Amino acid sequence: MQIKDKSGLTIVPVPSLRRLTIYLPYLKELSSGVTEYVSATTIARALGYIPIQVRKDIAYTGITGKPRRGYPISELVNQLEVFLGWKSYKNTFLVGAGNLGRAIMGYPGFKDCGLQIVAAFDADPAKIGTRLFGIEILSMDEFKTLVKRMGVQLGIITAPEQSAQEIADIMVDAGIHGIWNFAPVKLNIPDDVIVQNENLASSLTVLSKKLDQIV
Amino acid sequence: MQIKDKSGLTIVPVPSLRRLTIYLPYLKELSSGVTEYVSATTIARALGYIPIQVRKDIAYTGITGKPRRGYPISELVNQLEVFLGWKSYKNTFLVGAGNLGRAIMGYPGFKDCGLQIVAAFDADPAKIGTRLFGIEILSMDEFKTLVKRMGVQLGIITAPEQSAQEIADIMVDAGIHGIWNFAPVKLNIPDDVIVQNENLASSLTVLSKKLDQIV
DNA sequence: TAGATTGTTAATCGATTAACAATC
DNA sequence: TAGATTGTTAATCGATTAACAATC
């Protein structure tokens, strides 16, 4: 079954989407092996899910398998990569070249999913003109012009929370459509801009509450 | 309404828990102002939720308000801090003092939620004995002994994915009960150890898929 | 008092899980 | 063929939202 929105795009529940991003690296590993097909049961067992969930998640993508055999691994890998957009480069600007910004810039896990941080920005004049992991650090003054010139769609905020809203405003004004926000503040943003908040304190709290429950 | 588990502990849905961690910093800010009470409507409006959701989330914690007025701010802040465990220190070991590890160690947002990274560990001999943000970097050889001695319950894995499982094994063996895992791999862990996975590539994918849907 | 807001029970919605026919 | 596995429809479960009585 395929649920589509008005424009014909398949709508995948976010939890399914997240799981699909977890299946993919595992399948890539498998694809270097000898077996040709993989079943939902195998995937589920390897990653700690249940087979029906894996089957349903894959069904959302429109990818089909063969009864009795499972899914052809290399085809599954290719189609999943396309479906998740890991093959299309996402030109991105990062603002805030502190510790967290640097960690994001140097994070090896992004090489496979198409994130291209083409420049970083920082308020500190001492950092401007330097490079981190080959990424040049520029002044915010150039932000808007460069967004247009380089066709940047995504912005990452790894700046202190005090400046996050101001940075978001500049991003929106520059025409950026998606913001990945690591600052623990609610950004005021027009409806047509997508914000993905990454809140580390919140994740930690979930973990520690779960701990309380079992201890 | 309060849902409790067998041991009498209140069970809060994870989404509610995450929202509560977002209300709290906002309320802390408010508490330095002049108003004494805050209503669910005010919180909701400020943070982009709906009032009934805020009310329900707060109800889960057992904190009560006053009809017509709302919730007494300072009391709400205090009780939420206790409820979320932000006032109790969580002695934690971090393994993998690379870029991400350093970002976590230096992350200012943790000061309010009780995370105490008491030591870091790394495989690189050159790093051992040095300090980052006042946190000493030690050899893995000392891990187990120190877990016992310092009463450490939480472990953070910010090491490359290749070594994540091995580190997890050591953590489990040392008696750690909760693992915050930043490596994009499924950890094989006994049932009584809680794992919280932080998958950056997955979050990025959710954002970029949402972007595709509106553009 | 009137009315705003809480707290709680009920309704809705969406994701997960189960059941099972279709298929190779 | 028998049996494993997919794909799909239905049932269940849990979170969100609505409705409303209680309260100050």
Q: State CA A21 to chain mean position distance.
A: 9
**Residue B215 pLDDT > 70:** no
User: CA of A13 vs C1' of C13, distance in Å?
Assistant: 13
User: Which residue is closest to C18 in terms of CA–C1' distance?
Assistant: A52
**Residue B142 pLDDT > 80:** yes
> pLDDT band at B1, cuts 50/70/90?
very low
Question: Does the beta-carbon distance from B178 to A210 stay under 8 Å?
Answer: yes
Is strand D within 7 Å of residue A55 (CB)?
A: yes
Asked if residues A54 and A24 have their Cβ atoms less than 8 Å apart, the reply is no
Rounded to whole angstroms, how far apart are CA atoms A134 and A145? 21
Check if B126 contacts A (Cβ < 8 Å).
Answer: no
Rounded to whole angstroms, how far apart are CA atoms A59 and A43? 14
Check if A201 contacts B (Cβ < 8 Å).
Answer: yes
pLDDT of residue A1: 45
Rounded to whole angstroms, how far apart are CA atoms A65 and A72? 7
pLDDT of residue A33: 87
Read off the pTM: 0.95
B186 neighbourhood in chain A, CB within 8 Å: 22, 26, 46-48
Condensed to tens digits (0 to 9), the pLDDT of residues A123-145 reads: 999 999 999 999 999 999 999 99
**Residue A49 pLDDT > 60:** yes
Question: Does the beta-carbon distance from B205 to A11 stay under 8 Å?
Answer: no
